[in-house]
Structure formats: C-alpha cells, structure tokens
Amino acid sequence: MRILFALTYYRPYTSGLTIYVERLARGLVRRGHHVTVLTSQYDPSLPKLEWLDGVRIVRAPVLARVSKGVIMPTFGWLATRLALEHDAMSLHLPQFDAPGLALRGRILKQPVVLTYHSDLKLPPGLLNQVANRVVNVTNQLAAALATRIVAYTQDFADSSPYLRRWHKKVTIIPPPIEVANVPEEEIHAFRRRWNLQGPVIGMAARLAAEKGVEILLEALPRILAVYPTARVLFAGQHEHVLGEEEYARRLAPLLDQFRDHWTFLGILSPKEMAAFFPNLDVLVVPSLNSTETFGLVQVEAMLCGTPTVASNLPGVRQPPLMTGMGKVVPVGDAVALANAILEVIAHRAHYVRPRAEIMALFSTERTVTEYEQLFRQLGVAS
C-alpha cells in the first residue's frame, strides 16, 4: 500500500496526536507499506524533506499563524502532487486542510480515512472563536467527503456531536500504545537523578489549558496535608508552548507557591519516559474538555505498573474503566482529584494489573493490523 498521511503538526512536535501518527506510520512501514507524511514546517529549522524510520516527511513552509493554526501557501500544490503518488489517504483531524485533501482523494477514487482525535476548543478570544468555527466547518466537509472515520473508543464516538452525525462511517480502532524496554538500573538511575523520596505524582502533557494543570495544583494542599513530602513530576513541554503563553502566565503564581513540590522535567525521550512511569505512585490526567479524548500516557503508565486517575470525560475515562487500573473523578473537581490520588497511593497494589492484561487490549501492532485491514476492506491493494 502507498498511503499519504496528513496532519498539521508532526514530530518533533510532541502531542498525543503526533505520537499516535508516528507510531502508526512506522508500524505500517515495518509491514512493508510506503508511507508519506504531509505536514507543516512549523519550525523553519526543520527540513522540508526528511526520512525518519522509513517514513518520508514532506513539510510545507508556514507563511503565518492563526492561534495554533498555520497558513501554508504551497500546501495545496504539495497535496495534489503527493495524492497522485499514493493509493489512499489517512487524514488526522482537527485539520483545516482536510477537506481539500479529501476532495483530491474523492476525485482520484482513493479511499480517504479520517481519524478524529479530538474536538478543537481553543482558549477564549474573538480570533479563537472564529478559528473554532472555521475548523468545525472544515471538519464537517472532510467527513462528507471521507470514506471512513476512525475513533479511539465507542465511548467517545457516542458522546461526540461530530461523530454521532457521521456514525454510519465510524470505525473504532484502539490507539497505538508502546513503551520502550529499559533495564532496572536505568529506572533506579532516574530515581537517583531526581532525588525521589516521598510519594510521586506524575503528569505527562504539554502545559496547555485543556490539560487541567491548575486542578492538580489546587489539589496539592490536601495531598500535602497527608504526605508532606509528596512531589509532582511534570514530563512534557512547559515553556513556549504554541498558543498557551497566557495560560502559563496565569499558572505562574501557583507554580511558584508549590515550587518545592513540583518539578518540570521537560520533553523526555521514549527511554526516559519508560524510566519515568515506574517511578510514579500514580499518573494523573485531569483534563477539562473534549480536546482530550483518551490520554495515551495512561496506558503507557499502566504497562509500567503505574495506576492512573483520570477525568470523567468520554474516552479519557476508558483506560481505568477498561483495565480497573485506576480511578475516574469528576471534571474540574480538585477535592475529588486529591481524594482519588490519596486512595491510589494508600492502596496502590489493589489497582495494579498484570502487564499482559493491558497489552491484550492496547498495542501498536493491534492498531496497525486494524488500519491495514480497514484499507484492504476499502479496496487498497497490498
């Protein structure tokens, strides 16, 4: 198969969406398929053409930005040229350019598979409100032109107004999950490096408004009253996050207040993440809205033996509910979050499940197999 992937941001940009697509693209290449990723050159220092792990990456230069969106004058020309070289498309929403790509697929009689990763809910502001509406319209157009739409879970598909409207096209494929193998010594070295003593609470995300970082900050006093040496390790980009400057400024006083109990680790490599998860007593995903639809890091943590506490959002609640390896709390409820974290820390063994049970539900190989089967059902030759 020759499959054209398209999404606004791709690696080295770090988000659940980019990690998902990277794993899927690499997995298909390992199966002998040809994969090209068409994306933005969001950082001018990135090459316009690059090969990574057998995946060809084509980046369109960015002329201007609108919030987290980008304007790429050459994107249409690149899309046409690349569409002619491929047999099928894998488009990843939300994406402003998706309708144009889907139309090209329709004209060329190619299967177009949309993967709907999340709703777009930009921070308050007139420009962001306009951007939200424009992307919602383009997503609807893309769905009308698409052959199939992939969602992570039936839970999210049933709750999403977008997916409910197109339910006849929806196929459920669980997301790709993998964790690097690291020796015990590297796990111990990570603990020594960061001088981890008391209970350790983890977050793995960008410092972004939808992630609910302030809910964990508001929960900390209740946790510290029970465990005075408790500490939060935050893995992920926390400085210069696109479109989140105002959010970072708003959180700064609270972060300063808890500076002795909160450590920013920055962006970690896959091996560092595999050493990060086992050093946690619990991982939290206190997300606030449907821009978070699953939380891949939850399953990654579970594969390393670490339970999670997640917001009661469609999709996000599924890893702890499906595995029994954690708790679900009301959205935006700092008291409930604190209580759940304290419960998991106090009775951690009760929430741990065998790794094999988690792997039976989620793996990159399972995801790749199901996408491969879907493209074949749609008539794409191997």
Percent of the chain with pLDDT over 70: 96
Regarding whether 195 and 138 lie in a shared domain, the answer is no
Q: pLDDT tens digits, residue range 159-171? A: 999 999 999 999 9
How many domains does the structure of the chain reveal? 2
Give yes or no for residue 48 having a pLDDT over 90.
Answer: yes
Q: Is residue 216 in some structural domain?
A: yes
User: Can you tell me the distance from the alpha carbon of 286 to that of 284, in angstroms, rounded to the nearest whole number?
Assistant: 6
Regarding whether 229 and 170 lie in a shared domain, the answer is no
Instruction: Provide the pLDDT for residue 15.
Output: 86
Cα dihedral 139, 141, 144, 147, rounded to 10, equals -60
Give yes or no for residue 101 having a pLDDT over 90.
Answer: yes
Percent of the chain with pLDDT over 90: 85
User: Can you tell me the distance from the alpha carbon of 154 to that of 254, in angstroms, rounded to the nearest whole number?
Assistant: 37
Q: Token match 């609470």: residue?
A: 201
DSSP string, 293-353: SS-HHHHHHHHTT--EEEES-TTTTHHHHHH--EEEE-TT-HHHHHHHHHHHHHTHHHH--
pLDDT-derived band at 241, boundaries 50, 70, 90:
confident
Regarding whether 205 and 352 lie in a shared domain, the answer is yes
Instruction: Provide the pLDDT for residue 279.
Output: 98
Instruction: Provide the pLDDT for residue 123.
Output: 60
Q: Is residue 382 in some structural domain?
A: no
Instruction: Provide the pLDDT for residue 133.
Output: 76
Regarding whether 105 and 245 lie in a shared domain, the answer is no
Give yes or no for residue 92 having a pLDDT over 80.
Answer: yes
Regarding whether 145 and 109 lie in a shared domain, the answer is yes
Q: Is residue 350 in some structural domain?
A: yes
Regarding whether 56 and 194 lie in a shared domain, the answer is no
Q: Is residue 91 in some structural domain?
A: yes
Instruction: Provide the pLDDT for residue 244.
Output: 85
Q: Is residue 158 in some structural domain?
A: yes
User: Can you tell me the distance from the alpha carbon of 231 to that of 258, in angstroms, rounded to the nearest whole number?
Assistant: 9
Determine the average pLDDT of the residues in 226-234.
Answer: 97
State the maximum Cα–Cα separation within the chain, in Å, rounded to a whole number: 63
Regarding whether 367 and 355 lie in a shared domain, the answer is no
The residue segments making up the domain with residue 168 are 2-176+363-377
Q: pLDDT tens digits, residue range 56-79? A: 999 999 999 876 778 899 999 999
pLDDT-derived band at 43, boundaries 50, 70, 90:
very high
CATH code, domain carrying 290: 3.40.50.2000
Q: pLDDT tens digits, residue range 103-125? A: 999 999 999 999 999 876 656 66
pLDDT-derived band at 127, boundaries 50, 70, 90:
low
Q: pLDDT tens digits, residue range 259-276? A: 999 999 999 999 999 999
Determine the average pLDDT of the residues in 29-42.
Answer: 97
Q: Where are the alpha helices (DSSP H) in the chain?
A: 16-30, 75-85, 98-107, 126-145, 154-159, 161-165, 184-193, 213-226, 245-257, 270-276, 296-303, 318-323, 334-346, 348-351, 355-361, 364-377
Regarding whether 40 and 97 lie in a shared domain, the answer is yes
Regarding whether 201 and 141 lie in a shared domain, the answer is no
Regarding whether 193 and 157 lie in a shared domain, the answer is no
Give yes or no for residue 242 having a pLDDT over 80.
Answer: no
**Residue with the larger pLDDT of the pair 242 and 303:** 303
What one-character DSSP code corresponds to residue 217? H
Instruction: Provide the pLDDT for residue 70.
Output: 85
Regarding whether 162 and 14 lie in a shared domain, the answer is yes
Crossing angle for the helix pair 98-107 and 126-145, to the nearest 10 degrees: 10
Give yes or no for residue 243 having a pLDDT over 90.
Answer: no
Q: Is residue 46 in some structural domain?
A: yes
Q: Is residue 71 in some structural domain?
A: yes
User: Can you tell me the distance from the alpha carbon of 98 to that of 138, in angstroms, rounded to the nearest whole number?
Assistant: 7
Regarding whether 72 and 124 lie in a shared domain, the answer is yes
Give yes or no for residue 151 having a pLDDT over 70.
Answer: yes
- pTM reported for the whole predicted model: 0.88
Instruction: Provide the pLDDT for residue 124.
Output: 63
How many residues would you count in the chain?
382
Q: Is residue 304 in some structural domain?
A: yes
